Amino acid sequence: MLSEIISLITISYFAIGCNKSNEDVQNVLNEESISRGGGEQFFFSNNWEKEELNVTDENFEEEVLKSNMIVLVDFWVGWCGSCKKLDPIIKELTEDYKDEVKIVKIEADKNQFTFDQYSQYSKGNVPLLLLFINGEVVDKRLGLASKQEIVEMFDKYIEE
């Protein structure tokens, strides 16, 4: 019962915040795309699920903490509009920096153990970007970040 109430509140908040009808909200719940003002599209389905860039509670230590590369971790949740707006930026940076930075995503709701370990950086909010070097957090961004902001974060730590 409580989870149903929370879901209704979340859906209502989304509908009001995005100025969308109940039908648009239902489309979101059905993992379809909707457009916001200005005609831009964003998607609420997780199109990263099949990609090797996803990490979980089970492989976080191996893929992130023990990595020999600089690692950017994107903590996200499926209902977060800012997280979805960050997706194309992350995908682009993954290609642009494939030799310098390992970029991975972790769904915070489904990997609560790992998210809880790093919640001091976000106070439970997403998107959260953490940059790791040798298993240690060296930089962070909370909320929607531009490509330039993330590039500047990388440039501070990439050796020339």
Q: pLDDT of 103-129, one tens digit each?
A: 999 999 999 999 999 989 998 899 999
Same domain, 27 and 82: no
Contact 90, 140 (CB under 8 A): no
- Catalytic site includes residue 18: no
CATH number for the domain harbouring residue 72: 3.40.30.10
Range of the domain at 35: 2-42
Please count the structural domains in the chain: 2
CA pair distance 86, 59, nearest whole angstrom: 23
What value does the mean pLDDT take over residues 86-93? 95
Active-site entry in 25, 55, 73, 80:
80
Residue 15 has pLDDT above 60, yes or no: no
Mean model confidence pLDDT for the chain: 78
On whether residue 50 sits in a domain, the answer given is no
Contact 144, 132 (CB under 8 A): no
Same domain, 37 and 106: no
For the beta carbon of residue 96, count every other beta carbon within 10 angstroms.
Answer: 14
On whether residue 135 sits in a domain, the answer given is yes
Active-site entry in 25, 64, 83, 153:
83
75, β-bridge pairs: 106, 128
Per-residue pLDDT reduced to its tens digit, 55-79: 999 999 999 999 999 999 999 999 9
